[in-house]
């Protein structure tokens, strides 16, 4: 399945940002005196836009949810952003795909400024022709909107030549919304059942598996 353009999610796909995200969520929830008995309770929060999770799991109205996002960023921007690690095999995978002539892009619901900081911190930004993410005012945060933004920013009209790689149902649904095939990665935060149920076209268990699939 050779593709000219490969769009990557960031959290749960390129880097394991669980620690920083969970710590930032706990910081925010303490602000609102919401108790978390065990960090495993926050697993469903990993991936979807934070505003949506606050409205879904805490019953916040949109205005209060946006306020919560700002509180979250107090910790995340200061410390949580770097409580993170690159998954083993990612850099070799990116290098291999780029050497094969693939144009690599990022499409993440993380704020674009934060995505750039993370990828620069880990020395990965040079592999990507474009790093696209959410706006700080949340006017662009849905995965489908972010993917559309990246495609339009890069002038990509040959959608049959592009594929999205991600770990959660939001990645799959956002890609399908834009007419793209999707590779679901099983080493991230989403389960096989979630990805299959959302309609992923392919599944891989490792970055190496992704290289083999995309170089067929």
Looking up residue 106, the CATH number of its domain turns out to be 3.40.50.1000
Count of the separate structural domains present in the chain: 2
pLDDT for 156 equals 98
pLDDT digits (tens, 9 = 90+) for 133-174: 999 988 999 999 999 999 999 999 999 999 999 999 999 999
Q: Are 102 and 4 in contact (CB under 8 A)?
A: yes
In the residue annotation, 9 being an active-site residue is answered as: yes
pTM for the model stands at: 0.91
Residues 113 and 129 in one domain: yes
Which residue, 122, 105, 95, is CA-closest to 17? 122
pLDDT digits (tens, 9 = 90+) for 188-211: 999 999 999 999 999 999 999 999
Residue 100 has pLDDT above 80, yes or no: yes
Sign, CA dihedral 64-47-103-125, equals positive
Which range of residues forms the domain containing residue 98?
5-16+84-214
pLDDT for 215 equals 85
Q: Are 175 and 197 in contact (CB under 8 A)?
A: no
pLDDT for 138 equals 81
Looking up residue 47, the CATH number of its domain turns out to be 1.10.150.240
Residues 108 and 56 in one domain: no
Tell me which of 50, 67, 82 is where a domain ends.
82
Q: Are 54 and 60 in contact (CB under 8 A)?
A: yes
pLDDT for 48 equals 86
Angle (deg, nearest 10), helices 62-78 and 18-31: 130
Residues 105 and 205 in one domain: yes
pLDDT for 93 equals 97
Please identify which of the residues 9, 11, 16, 171 carries the catalytic annotation.
Answer: 9
Structure tokens at 206: 């490792």
pLDDT for 174 equals 98
């Amino acid at each position: 399945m050779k593709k000219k353009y490969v769009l990557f999610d960031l959290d749960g796909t390129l880097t394991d940002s669980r620690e920083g995200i969970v710590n930032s969520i706990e910081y925010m929830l303490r602000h609102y005196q919401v108790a978390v008995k065990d960090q495993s309770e926050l697993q469903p929060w990993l991936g979807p836009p934070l505003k949506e999770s606050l409205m879904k799991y805490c019953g916040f109205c949109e205005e209060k949810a946006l306020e919560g996002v700002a509180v979250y960023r107090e910790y995340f921007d200061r410390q949580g952003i770097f409580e993170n690690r690159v998954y083993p095999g990612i850099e070799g995978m990116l290098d291999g795909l780029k050497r094969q002539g693939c144009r690599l892009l990022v499409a993440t619901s993380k704020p674009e400024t934060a995505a750039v900081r993370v990828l620069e911190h880990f020395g990965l930004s040079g592999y990507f022709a474009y790093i696209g993410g959410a706006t700080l005012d949340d006017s662009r945060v849905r995965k489908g909107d972010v993917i559309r933004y990246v495609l339009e920013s890069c002038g990509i009209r040959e959608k049959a030549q592009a594929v999205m790689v991600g770990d959660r149902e939001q990645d799959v649904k956002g890609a399908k919304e834009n007419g793209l095939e999707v590779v679901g990665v099983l080493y991230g935060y989403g389960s096989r059942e979630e990805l299959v149920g959302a309609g992923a076209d392919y599944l891989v268990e490792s970055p190496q598996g992704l290289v083999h699939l995309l170089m067929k």
